[in-house]
A and B are shown apart, each in its own frame.
Chain A
Amino acid sequence: MNETAAPPQAPRSARAANLWLGIKRFGGALTAREDRFFLLLAVLIGIFSGLSVVCFRMAIEFFHLWLLRSAEQPPILRLLLVPCLAGIVIAIIVKRFAPDLRGSGVNQTKTAVYISDGDIPFHTVYGKFFCSALAIGAGHSLGPEDPSLQIGAGIASVIGRKLRLSRENLRLIAPVGAAAGLAAAFNAPIAAVIFVIEEVVGKWSSGILGAVVLSAVSSVVVMRTFLGAEPLFRIPQFRLGHPAELLGYIALGIFGGVFSLFFVKFVAWLRSWLRTWPKWTEYVQPAIAGLLVGVIGIWLPQVLGAGYDVMDQTMHGRYIWQILAILALAKVVATTLSFSSGTPGGMFAPTLFIGAMLGGAIGGIERHFFPAFTGGVGAYALVGMGTLFAGFLRAPMTSVFMVLEVSGNYSIILPVMISNTIAYLISLKYQPVPIFDLLSRQDGLELPSLEEEREEAALRVEDAMHPAAAPPLRAEKTIEQVRPDIEKSQQEWLLIYDRTRGWLLARKAEIIQKAANVPPSTRLAEIVSNDSVPIVHPDHSVDLPLRKLGDRPFLPVVHRAHPERLVGIVSREDVLRAYASTGLEEVAIPGPS
C-alpha cells in the first residue's frame, strides 16, 4: 500500500504569527494615508458603537423584565419601589464615581468637542451604559438615544486617544462616534448624520461628512445584523383624507409649538429649582423622581421608560384622544422629573412620545368632529413626533428626515414640513435659547450655540465693498489706447482685466515706467506682471477677503456670471468698517498671511 507523505505542518504558533503579520500589513496598507485612515477609523468606531448600542438596548430590556416583569401594567408594589430604589443606586454611582454622567449626552459631547479637545473618559462610557440602562429599565421616563450618542462619542474618543490622534482630529472623532451611536439607537442613519452635523458639529465639510456617514452606516449595519432591519414603529398606511386635512396639521404645528415651549420652560424651571436644594439632596432627587414617576405609572403605566411600544400602539389607534392628551401631559411631567433630578438618560424618546400622543389626540379630535377629512390617527401621531422634535429639540432638518426615515413614507412629507416648521417657529419666537444651550448654561458652560450661529445675520462682501474709483483697464488694449486712462487715474494701484490671466493688479508708476520703454502699439498685457489677483464675489462671507488679501491693497469684487465685470473693490479697511458698523468688531480678524 502506497502512503502519500503528508505535507509538513507548520507549527501552530508560526501560523498565528503569520496571521497576525497579515492583519498588521493589511492595517498598515489601509492606514498609509491620513484621509483613508480617518475613514477606516470611522468604520471601526461605527462597528464598536453599533455593538455597544445593541448591548445597551439589551441591557435596558433585561433590566425591565427583571425589575418590572413582562406585563404592560407592572405590579403596584414594584411600581412604587423599583424606580425609587434604582434612583438611589444611580445617585450613589453618579455622586461618588462619575458626576459627569448627569445631564444630556448631546451637551457632554459638545463639551468634549469644544472644551476638552474631544476627551470623553472611558468611565463615562460604561457608567452611562449601566446607569442609563438601569434608569430606563426601572421605569424612569427617559430615552436611550441620548446615552447611545454619548456612548458612541466616548468610544470614538477612547480609540482616538489610544491612537494618539492630533488635537484637531480628536475633536472631530467624537462627533463621528456620536453619529454612530445615535444612528444605531434610532435605526435611522440619515437623521443621525443630520442631527450631529446640525447640533454638534455645526458645519458641513467633506472631511467630517464622509467620516460621520461611514460611522453611522456601519453602526446601523451592525445593529440591523443583530436586531433586524425593521423600523422603530410599524407605520400604518398614510393617506391625506382631504386637502382641508392640512388645516389639522397646521393645528398640530401650533399645539406642538406651544407644548414644546411648556416642556422647555418646565424642564428649565424644575432643573434650576432643584439646584437651589442643598447639595446632599442630589443623593435622593433621582429616588424622589422615581417614586413620583412610579405613582404616575400606577394609573398610566404607558409613561414608564422610553415608551416606544406605546407610540407604536398609538399609531394603530389604540387610545382615544382624551387618553392621548392625558398621556402627553403625564409624560411631560414624568420626563421633567426624571431628567431634572439628574438621572442619566435622554430626552429624544420622551419628546417623540409626547409628540405622538399630542398628534394622536389632535388626529382623534379631528376624526371625531370631521370624520370625512381625516386620513388616520396614526399619521398624526407620526407627524406629531417630528413636530415636538422640531419644537423642543430645535432640530428642524433632523425632525423631517427622522419622520421620513422612520416611516419610510415619502408622501407624509407635506404635513411633516408644515407642522414641524410651525412648531419650530413658535418655539424660536418665544424661547430664544434652545434646550441644549439652556441646559449647558445652567451647568455653567458657554458652549457654542449652533442655532444662534445659524440665525445670526451674516456679513457679506457686498456689505463692505465700495465702487472702484476708475474703470478697470483691458489688457488687450495697446499702450496708446490706455495711456489717457492711466494718466487720468488718481489711484496708486490699477486694476487690469486680462482674458487669459484674469484680474491683475499693478502700480501706476510701474506701468508708466515700463510703457515709456516700449512702442505705443505694444499691448498692455505684455508689460504687466503675471501675478493674477484673487477675486471675491458680493455674496462671499466678509472674512474671505481678509484671508485672500495678503499684502495687496484691495481685491476686485466681480460678478459671478460675468467674471470680467467689476462690481466693486474691497480692502482690509472696508471689512473692519463693516464689522464695526454692525457691532461685530470684537470678532477676531486674521492678519495678512
Chain B
Amino acid sequence: MFLSLCALLLIPMFTTTGVIVRLFHEKQASIAAAWEKAGNTNLQAGHAEVAIEDFRNSLLYSPDDSKLQLELAEALAAQGQTDEAENYLFTLRTADPESSMIDLQLARISAHRGDIDAAVAFYHDATFGQWPSNAHKNQLATWEELIQFLLNNSRKEQARAEALSLAADNPADPDVLDAAAGYLAKTGDNQNALSEYEAVLRLSPTDVDALAGAGNAALALFQLPEADRYFTRALQHGAKDGSIAGKRDLAAAASELDPFNTRISERERQARAIEIFQAAEQHAKACFPALVTGGDALPNNLKPLAAERAALPAKLTRADFSAHPEYVDQVLDWAFAVEQAIPPQCGGTLADRAIQYLAGRNKES
C-alpha cells in the first residue's frame, strides 16, 4: 500500500522538479544571454578586459555553450592570455575535433607563441576541417593565412609548396590563382608565379592585377619583351598602380640595351656595350667626376674602378673591340660596377636604371 502511494507520489514530484528545473534553465539562459550581450558590446567598444569578465559571467550560467567558450577564447587570445584560451579550445576540440574555427584559433595561439610546427598542423586541420558557414571562403582565407605565416617566418619552401597546392586545388578560380601566384612570387619562385598569372589571364584576360603580376614575374625572370608586353596590356586595361608605367619603360629600355640577348649579332652586342659604357660614364661624371677624369677625391671603394677606367681607351670605339675582343666584357663589367656603386640619391636616367637592372642579371648569371 505504502509502496503504491510512493509510486503515485512520484508523478507530482517528477512534474514539480521538471517545472523547477525548466524555470532555472530559462533563468540561466536569460542571464547568460544578458552577460554575453554585454561582453560583445564591451568588446566592440574596445574594452576587452571587461568583455572577458562578461563572457566569464555568461559562462557561469551556460558552461557548455561552445560558441561562448570560443568567444571567450578569442577574447583571451586577443588579450594575450593564451594558456587559458588554449585550454578552452582544447576542451572544445575534444568535443568537436573537426571544427575549423577551433583549429584556427589554436593555430593563431601557436603562431603567437612561436611554435611554428604546431601552428602549421593546426592551420592544416583548420583548412581541411568543417566550417559552420562560407566553408570555401573560410578555407581559402585560412590557407592564405598559413602561407603568409610561413612567409613571415622565413619558411619559403613550405610556403611555396602550400601556394602550389592552393593553386592546384583551385584551377578555375582566378582570384585564388592570382593570390597563389603572388605568394609564389614572394617565395622567389617567379617561374611558377608567371605560370599561375598566365593561368589567370587565360580565365580572365583583362585582369589588371594578373597582368601586372605577370609583368613583375617576367621582369624578375629577365624575360624583358614579355614583361614589356604584360605591363603595356595592364596600362591599356586601366591599371592604377603608378609604378607600372615606370616598370614598362624600364623593361623596354633594358630590352633595348640588353647585351646578353642571344638573338642579337656580335656587332649589335658591341654597339650596346658602347652605349652602356657611355651612359655609365656620363652618370659617373655627374656624380663622381674623378672616377673618369682621375684624381684622389674618390671614396676607397671606387678607386679600383677609376684604375680600371684608366686602363681602357679614353674614347671607346667599335675598332677597339675588334683589336681587343676582351674589352667587351671588361667594359660591361666596369659599367655595371659603376652603376651599382653610385648611390640612388645621385639620380640617373632611365638608361642608368636599365643598366642597374641588367647589372643584377649579370651578377646572378
Contacts and interface: CB of A to CB of B under 8 A. Distances in A.
A236 B2 CA distance: 47
Contact of A316 (B8, B13, B91): B91
B49 interface: no
A222 to B, nearest CB: 8
Contact of B3 (A31, A51, A234): A31
Interface residues of A, number: 41
Contacts of A31: 3
Contacts of A230: 64
A97 interface: no
Given A236-B87, A317-B87, A70 B57 contact: yes
B173 to A, nearest CB: 36
A51 B14 contact: yes
Given A70-B60, A312-B63, A236 B53 contact: no
A376 B61 CA distance: 25
A312 B59 CA distance: 11
A326 B31 CA distance: 30
A24 B35 CA distance: 52
Contact of A237 (B57, B61, B90): B90
Contact of B7 (A23, A61, A227): A23
A312 B64 CA distance: 11
Contacts of B135: none
Band of interface residues on B: 35 or more
A234 B61 CA distance: 14
A51 B90 contact: no
B4 A61 contact: no
A313 interface: yes
Contacts of A235: 91
Contact of A72 (B20, B57, B83, B88): B57
Nearest to A37: B3
From B1, B3, B21, B91, residue with most partner A Cβ within 10 Å: B3
Nearest to B3: A27
A234 to B, nearest CB: 5
A85 to B, nearest CB: 23
Interface string B181-199: 0000000000000000000
B13 A62 contact: no
A315 interface: yes
B16 to A, nearest CB: 8
A226 B22 CA distance: 9
B320 interface: no
Contacts, number: 88
B26 interface: no
B260 interface: no
Contact of A20 (B2, B4, B20, B93): B4
Interface in A28-77: 31, 40-41, 44, 47-48, 51, 54-55, 58, 61-62, 65, 70-72
B202 interface: no
A539 interface: no
Interface in A374-397: 376-378
The majority secondary structure among interface residues of chain A is helix
A44 B21 contact: no
B57 A226 contact: no
A230 B18 CA distance: 18
A72 B59 CA distance: 10
B63 A317 contact: no
A568 to B, nearest CB: 52
A1 interface: no
Interface in A235-270: 235-237
Interface string A221-237: 00000111010001111
B298 interface: no
Contacts of B21: 54, 58, 226-227
A162 interface: yes
A65 B4 contact: no
A70 B84 contact: no
B4 A23 contact: yes
A309 interface: yes
A311 B65 CA distance: 18
A54 B17 contact: yes
A402 interface: no
Interface of B: 1-4, 6-8, 10, 13-14, 16-18, 20-21, 24, 27, 31, 35, 53, 56-57, 60-61, 63-64, 83-84, 86-88, 90-91, 93-94
27 contacts: A20-B4, A23-B4, A23-B7, A24-B1, A24-B4, A27-B4, A27-B7, A40-B3, A44-B6, A47-B10, A51-B10, A58-B21, A58-B24, A62-B24, A65-B31, A70-B60, A70-B61, A72-B56, A72-B57, A159-B2, A234-B63, A234-B64, A236-B91, A237-B91, A237-B93, A313-B84, A317-B86
Interface of A: 20, 23-24, 27, 31, 40-41, 44, 47-48, 51, 54-55, 58, 61-62, 65, 70-72, 159, 162-163, 226-228, 230, 234-237, 309, 312-313, 315-318, 376-378
Given A20-B4, A48-B6, A377-B83, 12 more contacts: A51-B14, A58-B21, A65-B27, A71-B57, A226-B17, A226-B21, A228-B64, A234-B63, A234-B64, A237-B93, A313-B84, A316-B84
